[in-house]
Amino acid sequence: MDYKTIELFNEGIIIKNVSNFELDHIFECGQCFRWNKQSNGNYIGVVNGTVIEVEKKDTDVKIYNINEKEFNDFWCDYFDLKRDYTAIKEKFQKDPLLKKSVDFGNGIRLLQQEPFELTISFIISSNNRIPMIKRAINNLSKNWGKAIEYKGETYYTFPTVADLEKASIEEIQSCGLGFRSRYVKDSVHRIYTAEVDLEFIKSQDDDICHEELKKLNGIGPKVSDCIMLFSMQKYSAFPVDVWVKRAMQFFYLAPDVSLPKIRTFARDKFENLAGFAQQYLFYYARENNIKIE
Ligand code: 8HG
């Protein structure tokens, strides 16, 4: 458990004495695309059909627009608050190379996100930049999601499978998805018809889960690892993109190693905590723009 108690205030709840929780680390570490920083430092996100706002004050975290029951039923797990990140970090900090990344992103937590949204989002992520990924997902939501008002602004929920199934390939293309449009169209259809069952895939062990997700068009090893790590609690996943490759080269390996070899090396080394190690490394590499000559 990484918090003590919760209290209510007029606009939501306050989580008291939270450890290992930094807004920038959580929301900017690459795992999510629908959280945006506000001018006052708070983050607003659209999750699970609602808009919520999160504020950090000393060691307390305020969540606006939810009640105690919603916290207990959903948000406590969404923010992975039952996990002891201090224990994970202590393990990693014994490794002087990983310690640097862990100290840098010390408030990272892996959010437990929704499998359909994450499948579509990470298909869109392939060969793409984060601002473009965010824009494409936002466009899909504007067109096929539901509008909700929060503090005078309109936000849009991520579309349901049935609503996105109504979109034509041309309409998906017009949201800025490029060559990924047909992968999204095809995946939505196969999920809609229940040919692919994400809840079943989630219930399988890590390696089966990884292979099953790769059966969808547009999902290779890297995208499969992101989906299983961020929405299926498969923590042996180790997505290797260009940043993680550079970080692993920088810290551990000789230059010119292939992506599959890096993945295998890291999964052997970090075992069922590989996904957490990957997140500290991705955030460190990207924020510090590390380069390998
Ligand atoms: O959290 C992430 N880990 C890894 N390894 N790759 C990621 C994450 N998030 C994310 O967007 N990516 C990919 O990195 C998507 C895209 O190919 C690139 C953007 O920097």
How do residues 211-230 score in pLDDT, each as one tens digit? 999 999 999 999 999 999 99
Q: Report yes or no: 29 and 279 within 8 Å, Cβ to Cβ.
A: yes
H helix count then E strand count, the chain: 16, 8
Structure tokens at 117: 């949204």
What does pTM read for this prediction?
0.96
DSSP label of 155: E
Average pLDDT score over residue span 18-35 = 98
Average pLDDT score over residue span 158-169 = 98
Q: Which pLDDT belongs to residue 248? A: 92
Residue nearest to atom 9 of ligand 1 (CA): 30
Structure tokens at 229: 């790590």
Q: Report yes or no: 70 and 189 within 8 Å, Cβ to Cβ.
A: no
Whether residue 8 has pLDDT greater than 80: yes
- DSSP letter for each residue of 8-19: EETTEEEE-S--
CA distance 179 to 75: 35
Closest-lying ligand 1 atom to the alpha carbon of residue 243: 5
Ligand 1 test: best mutation among 241, 259, 278, 284, most atoms within 8 Å of CB? 241
Q: Report yes or no: 62 and 9 within 8 Å, Cβ to Cβ.
A: yes
Closest CA to 31 of 121, 143, 148: 121
Q: Report yes or no: 108 and 283 within 8 Å, Cβ to Cβ.
A: yes
Q: Which pLDDT belongs to residue 10? A: 96
> What's the first-to-final CA gap in the chain, in angstroms?
42
Output the CA 30–ligand 1 centroid distance in Å.
Answer: 6
Q: For helices 85-93 and 274-287, what crossing angle results, to 10°?
A: 70
Q: Which pLDDT belongs to residue 129? A: 94
Residue nearest to atom 6 of ligand 1 (CA): 241
Instruction: Name the pLDDT band for 257 (thresholds 50, 70, 90).
Output: confident
Closest-lying ligand 1 atom to the alpha carbon of residue 286: 20
Q: For residue 248, give the H/E element and its range.
A: helix 242-251
- Per-residue pLDDT tens for 184-197? 999 999 999 999 99
Closest-lying ligand 1 atom to the alpha carbon of residue 29: 1
- Per-residue pLDDT tens for 39-77? 999 999 999 999 999 999 999 999 999 999 999 999 999
Please report, as a single letter, which amino acid is at residue 13: I
Whether residue 254 has pLDDT greater than 90: no
Q: Which pLDDT belongs to residue 291? A: 83
Q: Which pLDDT belongs to residue 252? A: 87
Q: Which pLDDT belongs to residue 293? A: 60
Q: Which pLDDT belongs to residue 250? A: 86
Instruction: Name the pLDDT band for 255 (thresholds 50, 70, 90).
Output: low
Q: What percentage of the chain exceeds 70 in pLDDT?
A: 99
User: Residues with Cβ within 6 A of ligand 1?
Assistant: 30-31, 125, 128-130, 226, 239, 241, 244, 278, 282
Residue 158 CB coordination number (10 Å): 26
Residue 214 CB coordination number (10 Å): 16
Ligand 1 test: best mutation among 177, 240, 243, most atoms within 8 Å of CB? 243
